[in-house]
């Protein structure tokens, strides 16, 4: 990895090092392109750029409480997308009982994040147990079903017309963040063979080109006796992620990339030590990510950059405006004493603008746009 020398221009009061040693009485705002990978400038303001007093128009930060979504049907395809575009679809589905049919996504790979519950996934490749905090990555057109041991809540992230790959770790190396050796794959074991022998008809509900097709078999099509190759379903738990850290510099979200798809990336925020250098920012910096929509799903813990956000909530910040920590979080980040974070969250950064689906009453918090109002001047 090579980068040419670059000497940025500067005006007025500024810090020579981003995210550190800010001029007295200022807050920093990063204006960046290409999702923290492209050219960027750092502005130093007297007031937080989120200190607006009024907001008019539909392009605004949104907060959804997925805990308030109504109970849906027995198939993942009963869950309508919450946010979507031509490359990405985000759903939330709850499964209470063993699926009596198979599903197959002909539109793209699926990444299922297990927000709650545990159980067993049966798919073309075999049997794969799963639990809370697991990612399950399923290649396009994989037939699958689950048998919950406890009620399961899945955040479903579809790479429409695309596939998932591992993130490039660059100079950190391919074993950084998580070693591919921790990835688990389905096994063809006795339990898998036993379920394949059950008599009767089985339906495969195929989602393709946005429509549903039902394919009926007089046997269970999950009847493989073996396979070989390098394409399969995968499991990764957030507890196996060992995040990149810097005690003197607040790393951007891109440092926490987990999965990469066409036109979007999935990052995972996991507990880590706080920055200990007295001049380093300890909370996410204000920024304009002007090429990406940012979505955060809050899984568990204390979400230190947000106020009044609970597990199971989802926020969406469309590109085009400044955003960053809430006032209380900004003030708390300046206080000494806190040594680590304990949040777990899934972030989805989309290169293409997302659309918000119609939602049942009570799911969206319409006052979220006002949640940054508070003490406007920097300390």
pLDDT at 377: 42
Task: Give 187-214 pLDDT, tens digit per residue.
Answer: 999 999 999 998 899 999 999 998 999 9
Q: Domain for residue 305, yes or no? A: yes
Q: Which domain holds residue 89?
A: 74-238
Task: Annotate 9-22 with DSSP letters as a single string.
Answer: ---SS--SSTTBSP
129 lies in the same domain as 189: yes
- For the CA atoms of the chain, what is the radius of gyration? 22
Let me know if residue 11 belongs to a domain.
no
* pLDDT over threshold 50, residue 375: yes
Q: Is 107 annotated as a binding residue?
A: no
Q: Is residue 188 part of a domain?
A: yes
Which of the listed residues 238, 259, 276 is the one where a domain comes to its end? 238
> Cβ contacts of residue 195 below 8 Å, gap of 6+?
122, 127, 220, 222
Both 51 and 105 in one domain: the answer is no
The pLDDT-based confidence of 285 (bands split at 50, 70, 90) is: confident
Whether pLDDT at 66 is above 90: yes
Residue 250 is a catalytic residue: yes
Task: Give the residue among 103, 177, 110 at the shortest CA–CA distance from 137.
Answer: 110
Q: Which of 115-124, 358-367, 368-377 has the highest mean pLDDT?
A: 115-124
Number of H helices, E strands in the chain: 2, 21
Cα-Cα-Cα-Cα dihedral of 46, 329, 155, 90, to 10°? -20
How many residues would you count in the chain? Answer: 379
Q: What is the pLDDT of residue 122?
A: 98
The continuous run of DSSP H or E covering 328 comes out as helix 327-333
> So what's the pLDDT on residue 3?
66
Inside any domain, residue 88: yes
Average pLDDT over residues 120-129: 98
- What is the chain's mean pLDDT, rounded? 90
Percent pLDDT > 70 in the chain is 93
d(CA 303, CA 309) in angstroms, rounded, equals 7
Residue 1: predicted pLDDT: 55
Q: 187, 203, 238: which is the final residue of a domain? A: 238
CB atoms within 10 A of CB 336: 8
Instruction: State residue 202's pLDDT score.
Output: 97
The answer on whether 168 is annotated among ligand-binding residues is no
Which of 183, 207, 238 is the last residue before a domain boundary?
A: 238
Judge if 198 and 345 occupy the same domain: no
Task: Write the pLDDT tens digit of every residue in 312-334.
Answer: 999 999 998 888 888 777 766 56
250, 256, 299, 326: the catalytic one is 250
- Write the CATH number for 295: 2.60.120.10
The pair of structure tokens assigned to 270 is 């996991």
Whether residue 87 sits in one domain with residue 204? yes
Task: Check residue 333 and give its pLDDT.
Answer: 59
Q: CA separation (Å) from 8 to 39, 249, 322? A: 10, 19, 22
209-250: pLDDT as tens digits: 989 999 999 999 999 999 999 999 999 999 999 988 888 888
The pLDDT of residue 331 is 67
183 and 227 co-located in one domain: yes
Q: Is residue 69 part of a domain?
A: no
In terms of domains, do 102 and 172 share one?
yes
20 pLDDT more than 90: no
Ligand-binding site membership of 323 (annotated): yes
pLDDT at 164 over 70: yes
Could you tell me if 47 and 79 lie in one domain?
no
């Amino acid at each position: 990895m090579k980068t040419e020398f670059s000497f940025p221009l500067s005006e007025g009061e500024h810090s020579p090092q981003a995210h550190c040693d800010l001029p007295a009485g200022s807050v920093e705002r990063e204006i960046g392109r290409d999702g923290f990978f492209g050219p960027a400038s750092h502005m130093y303001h007297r007031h937080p750029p989120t200190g607006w007093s009024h907001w008019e128009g539909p392009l605004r930060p949104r907060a959804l409480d997925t805990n308030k979504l109504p109970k849906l049907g027995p198939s993942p395809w009963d869950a309508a997308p919450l946010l979507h575009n031509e490359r990405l679809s985000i759903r939330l589905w709850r499964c209470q009982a063993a699926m009596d049919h198979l599903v197959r996504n002909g539109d793209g790979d699926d990444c299922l994040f297990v927000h709650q519950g545990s159980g067993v996934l049966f798919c073309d490749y075999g049997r794969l147990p799963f639990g809370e905090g697991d990612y399950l990555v399923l290649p396009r057109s994989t037939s699958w079903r689950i048998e919950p041991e406890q009620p399961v809540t899945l955040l479903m992230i579809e790479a429409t017309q695309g596939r998932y790959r591992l993130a490039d770790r660059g100079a950190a190396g391919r074993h950084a963040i998580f070693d591919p050796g921790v990835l688990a794959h389905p096994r063809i074991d006795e339990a898998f063979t036993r379920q394949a022998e059950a008599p009767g008809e089985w339906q495969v509900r195929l989602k393709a080109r946005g429509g549903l097709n039902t394919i009926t078999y007089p046997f269970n099509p999950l009847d493989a006796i073996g396979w070989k190759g390098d394409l399969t379903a995968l499991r990764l738990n957030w507890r196996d992620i060992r995040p990149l850290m810097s005690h003197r510099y607040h790393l951007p979200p891109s440092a926490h990339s987990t999965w990469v798809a066409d036109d979007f990336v999935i990052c995972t925020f996991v507990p880590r030590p706080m920055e200990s250098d007295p001049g380093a920012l300890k909370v996410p910096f204000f920024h304009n990510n002007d090429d990406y929509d940012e979505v955060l799903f809050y899984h568990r813990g204390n979400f230190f950059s947000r106020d009044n956000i609970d597990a199971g909530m989802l926020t969406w910040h469309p590109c085009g405006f400044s955003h960053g920590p809430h006032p209380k979080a900004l003030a708390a980040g300046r206080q000494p004493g806190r040594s680590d974070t304990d949040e777990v969250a899934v972030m989805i950064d989309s290169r293409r603008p997302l659309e918000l689906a119609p939602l049942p009453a009570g799911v969206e918090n319409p006052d979220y746009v006002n949640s940054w109002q508070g003490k406007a001047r920097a300390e």
